[in-house]
């Protein structure tokens, strides 16, 4: 909806409203329980289908889930940018061509996503050329998840000390990988270099993920029986409780065993986790904002009904060990925090405004995408009409556009843009 105020006869439509896409993957929250479903329904005008999973709300130019510019006859955002490359800014065009370098999403996770990693640019190019039906593009996919609710994930490998502890206290894993692999880990000492540790970790993980279905099924069954018996005489650890939950979601899956090898991360609302290329992870539960380089490449190896590429995954991982960095956001003003991952393609701002408050987003040399999560207010730039905005509205702001937001009620919105450190 537009509001034209006095003296605005020379103003034009600078902020472009977008109609965005939804993904109904089976791990998504069902019907109205999903924030994704509510955002998509508000954004598109379509009814929510109860009983249907709503997993991801996509805002961007990727061909697997494109957005469309409402004021330009339903032209795709990608096509509109191609006709108006100046909206990206000169430096963005020089670096990435006439392409929006980031993809913005909201995720509603009811059950665990696959154990996965995203290839770096070199591997992505190779995979896309060899199997374009599976690997949809040749780009890398660093990403960041910013929690909307309490959000749980598996991310990266546990420390060497924890790894030794697992091999000594989870006999089902030791049995699958064999005594030789176990002894390799237990005999590592402080004098051994990082490359040797990485090689041993790679060897054990590859043995585990490559084991036969029958071997894994037997091991998971033993693990499940043991933990259920032990739960009657002791309090299970958080990781053990998680393993039992995942076993219910994916019985006899190798990912149930592999979970012991990964960091179990719990984010509070407003905390963020970032993941580089070739870093192993799996989202477990909760809702989040997600931003990434414009790509849809995923290599999977467990906790999924989809095709798995075990050897590719095991060979591509960094095998970095230790707990990941959690971003708390850097305050820009009393209402806005910025989350800056170490990737050029994107950053995310989180803005929570009480009734009657205003926040300014100064002009930047690259494009931005704004998404209203909750509430109502107005949004405009110095050269644009004033827009009434509410939950589900998504707007594209061209490079060098200042944006001001004012609330008529509590307003909760997010902005994705090219990383400020790039400029």
Contact status, residue 31 vs residue 37, Cβ threshold 8 Å:
yes
**Cα-based angle 71, 72, 74 (whole degrees, multiple of 5):** 95
Q: Which residues are catalytic?
A: 300
Distance CA 263, CA 156 (A): 6
Tell me the CA end-to-end span of the chain in Å, nearest whole number: 33
CA distance 329 to 168: 39
Q: Given 3-state DSSP classes, what are the helix, strand and coil percentages for the chain, each rounded to the nearest 5?
A: 30, 30, 35
Q: Which residues contact 183 (CB under 8 A, 6 or more apart)?
A: none
Contacts 24+ apart (CB under 8 A), 61-66: 61/99, 61/100, 61/103, 61/294, 62/103, 62/136, 62/137, 62/294, 62/295, 62/296, 63/136, 64/136, 64/296, 65/20, 65/21, 65/22, 65/23, 66/21
Residue 89 Ramachandran class (φ > 0 left, ψ -120 to 50 alpha, else beta):
left
């Amino acid at each position: 909806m537009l509001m034209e105020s006095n003296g605005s006869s020379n103003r034009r439509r600078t902020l472009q409203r977008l109609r965005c896409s939804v993904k109904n993957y089976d791990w998504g929250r069902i019907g109205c329980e999903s924030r994704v479903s509510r955002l998509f329904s508000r954004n598109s005008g379509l009814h929510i289908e109860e009983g249907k999973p709503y997993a991801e709300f996509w805002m961007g130019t990727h061909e697997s889930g494109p957005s469309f510019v409402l004021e330009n006859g339903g032209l795709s955002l990608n096509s509109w940018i191609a006709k108006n490359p100046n909206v990206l800014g000169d430096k963005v065009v020089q670096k990435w061509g006439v392409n929006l370098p980031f993809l913005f999403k909201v995720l509603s996770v009811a059950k665990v996503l696959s154990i996965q990693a995203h290839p770096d640019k070199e591997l992505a190019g190779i995979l896309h050329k060899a199997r374009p039906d599976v690997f949809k593009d040749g780009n890398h996919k660093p990403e960041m998840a910013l929690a909307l609710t309490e959000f749980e994930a598996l991310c990266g490998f546990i420390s060497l000390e924890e790894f030794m502890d697992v091999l000594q206290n989870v006999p089902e894993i030791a049995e699958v990988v064999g005594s030789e692999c176990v002894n390799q880990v237990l005999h590592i000492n402080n004098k051994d270099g990082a490359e040797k540790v990485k090689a041993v970790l790679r060897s054990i993980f590859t043995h585990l993920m490559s084991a036969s279905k029958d071997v894994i099924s037997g091991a998971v069954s033993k693990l499940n029986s043991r933990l259920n018996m032990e739960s009657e005489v002791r309090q299970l650890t958080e990781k053990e409780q998680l393993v039992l939950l995942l076993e219910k979601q994916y019985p006899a899956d190798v990912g149930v065993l592999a979970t012991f090898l990964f960091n179990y991360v719990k984010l509070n609302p407003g905390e963020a986790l970032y993941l580089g290329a070739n870093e192993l992870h799996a989202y477990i539960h909760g809702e989040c904002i997600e931003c990434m380089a414009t790509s849809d490449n995923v290599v999977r190896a467990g906790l999924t009904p989809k095709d798995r590429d075990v050897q590719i995954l095991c060979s591509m991982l960094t095998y970095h060990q230790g707990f990941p960095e959690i971003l708390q956001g850097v305050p820009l003003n009393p209402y806005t925090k910025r989350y800056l991952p170490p990737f050029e393609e994107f950053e995310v701002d989180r803005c929570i405004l009480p009734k009657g408050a205003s926040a300014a987003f100064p002009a930047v040399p690259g494009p931005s995408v704004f998404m209203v999560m909750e509430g109502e207010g107005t949004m405009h730039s110095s050269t644009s009409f004033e827009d009434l905005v509410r939950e589900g509205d998504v707007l594209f702001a061209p490079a060098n556009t200042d944006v001001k937001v004012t609330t008529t009620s509590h307003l909760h919105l997010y902005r994705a843009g090219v990383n400020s450190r790039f400029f």
